[in-house]
A and B are shown apart, each in its own frame.
Chain A
Amino acid sequence: MAHAETLALDDHDHKPHGIGRWLFATNHKDIGTMYLVFALVMFLLGGFMALLIRLELFKPGLQFFDPAFYNSLVTSHALVMIFGGVMPAFVGLANWMVPLQIGAPDMALPRMNNYSFWILPFAFTLLLSSFFTAGGGPAGGWTLYPPLSLQAGTSFPLTIFAIHLMGASSIMGAINVIVTILNMRAPGMTLLKLPLFCWTWLITAYLLIAVMPVLAGAVTMLLTDHYFGTSFFNPAGGGDPVMFQHIFWFFGHPEVYILILPAFGVVSEIIPTFSRKPLFGYDAMVYATASIAFLSFIVWAHHMFTVGMPLAGQMFFMMSTMLIAVPTGVKVFNWTTTMWRGSISFEPPMLFALAFLFLFTIGGFSGLMLAIAPADYQYQDTYFVVAHFHYVLVPGAVFAIMGGVYYWLPKWTGHMYNQMLARCHFWLSTITVNILFFPQHFLGLAGMPRRIPDYNVQFTDWNVVSSIGGFAFGLSQLLFVVVIWQCVKGGEKATDKVWEAEPHGLEWTLPSPAPYHSFETAPEVH
């Protein structure tokens, strides 16, 4: 049986040592670890920027920052969190778990995997170094709309180059995922037996390949407009600033599904395990994920309702956007029915998955409201939008990542972590994330625009509440770091199955920690 063979291999675990192990890593576990550590550092950095933002917004009046610097905080917070936090974290989970879940010895293209990772620290050094240039960091919003983004100084080429690098990293990573899943599944693992986490990553990888080149095109056009005399977005030369928005959001909308589909995958692994019942409606879940991915290509202009789009365009995008609620709802119903008539326990991964289920759904509802174009005229560019996307990204994507880490960490390290501390982290995070973001719905509806460092006194109260929530949430994340750190250092030995709930899946047939080289012989899947 595969189990005995990998135990024997354990003895000859030739791990490389020293800095070379990491610099020249081709092992999916090491690369996965590097992605996850990088993502954690970026979360803390992006989170620190958010704390500075909430600090300034605590009271009306400008207390701490020049408005231009504030704008660069807002811009970089988003770039760091999206491209440095969420995306690398999901790639890290993919690197660790996809080969294990399909019974493969590694990713299909291990050296390209190495390049995919090491591009990122370089790219972010480039991006963040712009803060030390004369003009400061990028300050036109992560959405880079021209003409404003073209008014930036030295940060502009640094930002564009960094984005190109991050895009290349993502594309290479996506190719790796697709080739691995399509070619290296253990015998007997048909596509409709693939774990949901692998399915969502397979679909996400196709989205990445489709749209990252579009972003590259958009930012290259910005670059040539600025330095090489083109007029793609310059009306004086016959161009159109709105065309940038179309191209950007053609990337941007699938991008947000790239940020959430792997989260759906993680949650689809955790909930069945701790409900002690298979995922309800596996086929429907696969089709729903594919539908969401397809629909994500035809809704982009709902980010642009106020640009002066013809009525027919607004109608189309309103309807297509409302339609996305359907497959998303199907997934929520299927997760709930997975728990129905199950036998549920509440270990830390399950706690995060349940918080995801509730709070992502709230984000989904505000999304449905935003889809209604006439109402969106009141919501667009206000804190209502900020509340929506933070609900789907923070108690959505980020909680799913944390749930995934809490689920698989003992498999990676061989130690169970301090579950009491993890529960504290959970409760503090869940309560404070709502204090932080729920009032932002009110602020937006009451009329507070986004991306402003100061506001009229009528907005004070909810800003105070939100800032308090922000600081509490930020501080709570230090618990996450402590739990992980302690777990890496040591802890109660974890078994193969790790959890009393006895999860299904090939990764749980391996010892904990999983051997450096696993599934060198393919397991049999029935």
Chain B
Amino acid sequence: MFYRKVVTVLAGLAAATPALAYESSYNLPVGATDISRRVYDLHMMMFWVCVVIAAFVFAAMIYSIWRFRKSSGAVPDKTLTHSTNVEVVWTVIPVLILVATAIPAARTLIMMEDTRNSEMTVKVVGYQWKWQYEYVDKGVSFFSTLAQASNLARQLGSGIDAKTVPNYLLDVDNPLVVPVDTKVRLLLTGNDVIHSWWVPDFAVKKDTIPGFINEAWFKANRTGRFTGQCAELCGRDHGFMPIVVNVVSKAEFAAWLAAKQAEAHSAAPAAAPPAPAATP
């Protein structure tokens, strides 16, 4: 019961911290899913635990440095050399703090790994240097590559000011589109080297490993445009293969999917567009 009180207080502290705007310049996003909210709360809880412990520890350090200065006449107490009691206390208390914080962490981890009852599946394949998305069993598949405006601006010595490019390096030609309030399961793999698919607003990050299939899931609770980046060094253009996810209403999604399926039917199977090459 006491443990529950402690966790509630800590969680309350976490919740009381004003949820910052989607694009905070110094903190994690609260994000667009229940899981991302839980991860944010967990992060803030750990942060405050660390701040409180730091306050005590740094206070002791600063006090010692000030109070026991030789220049103010402090005389050393050479008999203060050890104390088994104190060692036990400052071993046991941290262990208790760790146990208390491990429990909510474990709970959230279990939730993140539960891919059951998903409503749709998207296969994500990491390529050097772009993503491929396939709506499994829907016949829709396409590549998602860094948008042209960003690609031109990012070339070495392009002379184009990044600030003039909207969504610089966080824009693609074909974003991933998913419906809101829908549990989307992702099956992730790699084509060449290890990449990692990461969208901070969903708190989803999973490595895409050639020859293996990883699983992840998310359920967006609001519509919007959410961006992410590759999160595993994958070669020269690791920094230039972003992720854009458009979360739309279920109706919009159905319409979009139908249009894509029609496109796939009428067009000849499209060859993979080449990755944006650096200008020599």
A71 touching B233 in the complex, CB below 8 Å, given contacts A62-B157, A446-B23, A452-B238: yes
A326 to B53, CA, bound (A): 13
A462 to B200, CA, bound (A): 19
Cβ-defined contact, B90 with A308, below 8 A: no
The interface stretch among A17-25, A341-349, A396-404, A428-436 is A341-349
Q: Flag B41-68 by CB within 8 Å of A: 1 or 0 each.
A: 0110011001001100110110011001
A330 contacts which chain B residues (CB < 8 A)?
Answer: 87, 90-91
Contact with B109, one of A59, A63, A315, A381 (Cβ below 8 angstroms):
A315
A61 touching B194 in the complex, CB below 8 Å, given contacts A326-B91, A452-B238: no
A374 to B86, CA, bound (A): 33
Interface check B119, CB cutoff 8 A: no
A280 contacts which chain B residues (CB < 8 A)?
Answer: 80-82
> Which chain A residues have a beta carbon within 8 Å of chain B's beta carbons?
59-68, 71, 139-141, 145, 147-148, 151, 235-236, 240-242, 275-284, 306-308, 311, 314-315, 318-319, 322-323, 325-326, 329-330, 332-333, 336-337, 339-345, 354, 357-358, 361-362, 365, 368-369, 372-375, 377-378, 380-382, 441-442, 445-447, 449-459, 461-462
A235 contacts which chain B residues (CB < 8 A)?
Answer: 209-212
Instruction: Add 13 more A-B contacts to A139-B235, A147-B193 (CB < 8 A).
Output: A62-B156, A64-B156, A281-B81, A307-B207, A311-B109, A323-B98, A341-B74, A343-B75, A372-B101, A374-B38, A441-B26, A449-B231, A455-B169
Closest to B239 in A: A452
Q: Flag B213-243 by CB within 8 Å of A: 1 or 0 each.
A: 0110000000000001111111111111000
Cβ-defined contact, A314 with B154, below 8 A: no
B231 contacts which chain A residues (CB < 8 A)?
Answer: 306, 380-382, 449
Cβ-defined contact, B205 with A375, below 8 A: no
Give the distance to chain B from A143, nearest Cβ to Cβ, in Å.
Answer: 8
Most chain-A CB neighbours within 10 Å: which of B83, B163, B192, B236? B236
Interface check B161, CB cutoff 8 A: yes
A308 touching B207 in the complex, CB below 8 Å, given contacts A453-B239, A458-B25, A461-B25: yes
Cβ-defined contact, B192 with A147, below 8 A: yes
Cβ-defined contact, B95 with A341, below 8 A: no
Q: Flag B180-220 by CB within 8 Å of A: 1 or 0 each.
A: 00000000000011101010100111110111101100000
Interface check B116, CB cutoff 8 A: no
Cβ-defined contact, A345 with B70, below 8 A: yes
A–B pairs, 30, beta carbons within 8 Å: A60-B162, A66-B236, A147-B210, A151-B235, A275-B76, A277-B77, A279-B81, A281-B86, A306-B207, A308-B214, A315-B106, A318-B105, A318-B106, A319-B102, A330-B87, A330-B90, A339-B68, A341-B68, A344-B70, A345-B69, A357-B61, A381-B233, A445-B27, A446-B24, A449-B231, A452-B229, A455-B169, A456-B170, A459-B25, A462-B26
A341 touching B94 in the complex, CB below 8 Å, given contacts A357-B61, A375-B42: no
Cβ-defined contact, B86 with A337, below 8 A: yes
Q: Secondary structure of the A side of the interface?
A: helix
Interface check B148, CB cutoff 8 A: no
A162 to B98, CA, bound (A): 41
Most chain-A CB neighbours within 10 Å: which of B78, B229, B239? B239
A148 contacts which chain B residues (CB < 8 A)?
Answer: 193-194, 233-235
A276 to B70, CA, bound (A): 9
A333 to B88, CA, bound (A): 12
A458 to B229, CA, bound (A): 14
A60 touching B94 in the complex, CB below 8 Å, given contacts A445-B28, A446-B23: no
Contact with B81, one of A236, A278, A373 (Cβ below 8 angstroms):
A278
Give the distance to chain B from A364, nearest Cβ to Cβ, in Å.
Answer: 9
A57 to B168, CA, bound (A): 15
Give the distance to chain A from B23, nearest Cβ to Cβ, in Å.
Answer: 6
Interface check B244, CB cutoff 8 A: no
A139 contacts which chain B residues (CB < 8 A)?
Answer: 235-236
Most chain-B CB neighbours within 10 Å: which of A240, A330, A381? A381
Cβ-defined contact, B205 with A380, below 8 A: yes
Which 5 A-B residue pairings sit nearest by Cβ, starting from the closest?
Answer: A235-B211, A452-B239, A442-B26, A308-B214, A60-B162
Closest to A364 in B: B50
Interface check B245, CB cutoff 8 A: no
Cβ-defined contact, A341 with B209, below 8 A: no
A344 touching B101 in the complex, CB below 8 Å, given contacts A60-B168, A365-B50, A446-B27: no
Closest to A455 in B: B169
Give the distance to chain A from B100, nearest Cβ to Cβ, in Å.
Answer: 11
Contact with A67, one of B77, B98, B236 (Cβ below 8 angstroms):
B236
